[in-house]
Chain A
Amino acid sequence: MTEASDLASAYDLVVIGGGPAGLAAAALAARAGVSTVLFDENPGVGGQIYRGITSTPLKKRAVLGEDYWAGAELAAEAKASGALIVTGATVWSLDPTRQVGVSIAGKARMIEARRVIIATGSLERPFPIPGWTLPGVMTAGAAQTALKAHGLVPNGRVLLAGCGPLLWLLAAQMLRAGARIEAILDTTLRANWLRAVPHLPDFLLSPYWSKGLALLREVRAKVPVIPIERLSARGEGKLQQVDYVSRGKDSRRQADVLLLHQGVVPNVNLANAAGVAHRWNERQICFEPVLDVDFGSSVPGIAIAGDGAGIAGGTAAAERGRIAAIAAVRALKPSASVPDPQSVRQKLQREELGRGFLDTLYRPADAFRLPEDETIACRCEEVTAKQIRDMAAIGCEGPNQMKAFLRCGMGPCQGRLCGLTVTELIAASRHTRPADVGYYRLRPPVKPITLAELASLPISEAERKAVER
C-alpha cells in the first residue's frame, strides 16, 4: 500500500481517476518514460464501468459480459507500465498552477504536477421524482456496483425505471446473475424515436448497434416493459410502493427496491473548481468542459479525458485517455516515442459514431428533469423544486445566488445531485437558456477532508516562520 509519505513532491504527470481513460493515459505516459502517478479514491482501479475488475467475487464471466472483462487488460497494462497507481487516494484540490491536494488513509499531501489529466468520468443524471430520497430507491449504477464489486443483487420486489443503455445492461446482468425484476418502467419518449432516425445510419456503423439490440431482446424476453409518463416512489421510512402513469392510466405496484437511471453526465466538480471553462451541451443536456483536439482544457497543462470530457462511453474513454497522454508526453519529453495520434483518433471516431442516436433516443423527458413543486431537487439540504421556482420568480438569476437564498448545492454532495436540476429549473422559470444561467461555482476542497488531514500537511521552515512569532 502506498502511503502519503511515500509520494514524491512532484511528478511529470498526475492522472486523477482510474477508469478506462485514466488507466490508458497512465499506461501510455509511464511507458514513454514520463514519471506518472494515478490517484483513485475507490478501493481498486477500474472506475465505474470496470468496477471491481481486479477483485470482483463474480467468477462466471457471462454474468457481467465480455465488455466488462476487457477492463482487466487495461488494468494490467497500467500496472505493468511503471506508473505509480494509488487507490484509496482522494484528490480534494487542484488549482490552475497544477498543485494537487490528495489524501491517503487520513494523511494529506500537496503534489506539484507538470501536467494533469483529469479522468473523473461521469455520474448518473439527477432523477428527481417524488420519493427519490426514500431508502430502497437507488440508482441503477449503484445496483451495478453492488453486483460487480460485491456480488450483491437487490432482493424482494425490484423495479427498474428510466431510460438509456445502462438500464438495459444492468437488467441483463441482474437476470444472468439470477435476480428477479418485476418490471421495467420505460420513460423513453415515443417522439424521440422519430427524432433519432436521422442518426440511425451512423448508429448502425457503431459497435453499440448489435450489442444494444441483443441486450433489448435478452431483457424483453424475461421482463415486462411498461412505457410510463410519470413516476413517484412512496412509503413510510422506506420504499413501499411505486406509482406511475402509463398511456394516461394511473397504476401502482408494491416495491422494495426501485432503481433509477436516465443517462450519465460529466462529473464536472474537480475541473470546475480548477477554473476550467465549461459550456452547455444541448444534445446531452449537461455542462461539459471546453477542450481542444488533444482534450486540453482552458487551464494550461490540465487535460480532461474520458466521459468527463462529454459522454461517449468506456471504450471511447480509453482512446481519449491515450490522446491526452500523447499530448502530455510530447510536451514533457519530446524525444520519447509515442503511438501515432491519428490512428487513435480514428478509433475514437468509430467509438463516438453511435452517440447522436443514443443521446436523441434517450433524451430524458422534461417531466423527469424539471420536477413538480413538492419534489426535492437538492437532496442534501432538502430544497424543493417549488422553492427554487419561487426564488427564480422573485429575481434570483443563477445557481450561485440560489445557494445564498436556499442553501441548495451547499450540502456534502456539493451540487453533484442537484446542479443540473437547479440550472434547468431557473432557466425554465426565467424563460432563458441553461447556457445563460450557468452552473454552481465550485471551490476546493471538492471532497470533504478533516482538519486532522489538513494538519498532516508537511510544513516548511519558511511556512512555519510566517505564522510563528
Chain B
Amino acid sequence: MFKRLGDTADTLTIEIDGKSVRARSGDTVAAAMLANGIDHCRTTPVTGAPRAPYCLMGVCFECLVMIDGVGSRQGCLVPVRDGMRVETQQGKREAGR
C-alpha cells in the first residue's frame, strides 16, 4: 500500500504475526506495517470486517494491534524496537490479552 522513498534505509527487524520483517528505526508500528504491505491490522469486534490504519495520528483507533503481548495498542503511536512482536487482532478481545 505504501513504499519507502529512496533516501530511507531499513535498519531493524520486527515480527508481525510470527513473520520477520524489516523496519526503519523511527517507524511507528503502523508505519512499519504499511511499508511491509500488511493490508489490515485487525478485524472488528462487531462484524469481523478488516481494518487498516486510517488517521496515523492517534484519533481513529483503527490500527489497534497486540504489541509484545499487550492488546489494543495504538500502532501509530508506538515506535518500533528491534525484536518487537506485533500481532494483528482478530475480532473481540479475549480476557487477559
Contact = CB atoms under 8 A, between A and B. Distances in A.
A142 B50 contact: no
A391 interface: no
A48 B57 CA distance: 7
Contacts of A237: 39-40, 50
Interface string A128-148: 000001111111011001100
B34 A43 contact: no
A412 B62 CA distance: 9
Contact of A41 (B51, B72, B77): B77
Contacts of A155: 1-3
Contact of B2 (A123, A149, A153, A450): A153
A131 to B, nearest CB: 11
B57 A58 contact: no
Given A57-B24, A150-B35, A379-B62, A139 B1 contact: no
Interface in B1-53: 1-5, 7-8, 24, 26-28, 31, 34-35, 39-40, 44, 46-47, 49-53
A161 B77 CA distance: 26
A238 B50 contact: yes
Contact of B5 (A41, A58, A379, A381): A58
- Most A CB atoms within 10 A — which of B5, B27, B72? B5
B59 A142 contact: no
B2 A154 contact: yes
B5 A146 contact: no
Contact of A152 (B2, B40, B52): B2
Interface of A: 41-43, 48, 51, 55, 57-60, 88, 90, 123-124, 133-139, 141-142, 145-146, 149-156, 177-178, 237-238, 256-257, 267, 379-382, 411-413, 416-417, 448, 450
Interface of B: 1-5, 7-8, 24, 26-28, 31, 34-35, 39-40, 44, 46-47, 49-62, 64, 70, 72, 76-77, 79
The 3 closest A-B pairs by CB, nearest first: A135-B52, A412-B61, A142-B56
